[in-house]
Amino acid sequence: MSSSSPQISAENQWQNKYSEYLTRNGLKSTVQRDIIVKEFYRLEGHITAEELHAKIKTEHSSIGLATIYRTLKILTASGLALERHFNDGFTRYELCDTDSAHHDHIVCVACDKVEEFENDEIEELQKKIAAKYKFKMIDHKLEIYGLCRDCASEKK
Ligand SMILES: [Zn+2]
Ligand SMILES: [Zn+2]
């Protein structure tokens, strides 16, 4: 929590950014989108549009998958969500808020479990590589694929 604005929660800051993005781009906030955006914020991990839809339709049966897709596109375009592609063919989304530091992923190819990690040495190394090629690094993705402990022991 930042000390300069103790009364504004991370969720409110994130919601404010969403509202600003809508205004800047001439988009209207709709009741359905607002429900989706709220629910997305609360869910953790790396979820697909279908998973989000399954959660939401239990209480809001009128919200269709197409609306979920459109809303996730808006969140991604505004930088409030990140699109992830691991190797199971699904597009997954994860929250990107002010407090969530950059992280990388390690993915189990058998059960699709995803763990997150941060490693300063890897971050530094990548900056060095970018510098070597005279690039200013903006972003990077690193995914390690393998078998998690549970799946590796099953295979034996
Ligand atoms: Zn596994
Ligand atoms: Zn992640």
**Ligand closest in space to the Cα of 93:** 2
How far is 88 from 105, CA to CA, in rounded Å? 14
CA of 37 to the centre of ligand 2 (A): 18
**Ligand closest in space to the Cα of 105:** 2
How far is 94 from 84, CA to CA, in rounded Å? 7
Which pLDDT belongs to residue 101?
66
- Look up the pTM and report it: 0.78
CA of 111 to the centre of ligand 1 (A): 4
CA of 99 to the centre of ligand 1 (A): 28
Rounded (10°) CA dihedral 144, 138, 85, 120: 30
Which pLDDT belongs to residue 1?
47
User: Each residue of 21-73: pLDDT tens digit?
Assistant: 999 999 988 999 999 999 999 998 899 999 999 999 999 999 999 999 999 99
Domains and CATH numbers, the chain: 1-99 (1.10.10.10), 101-156 (3.30.1490.190)
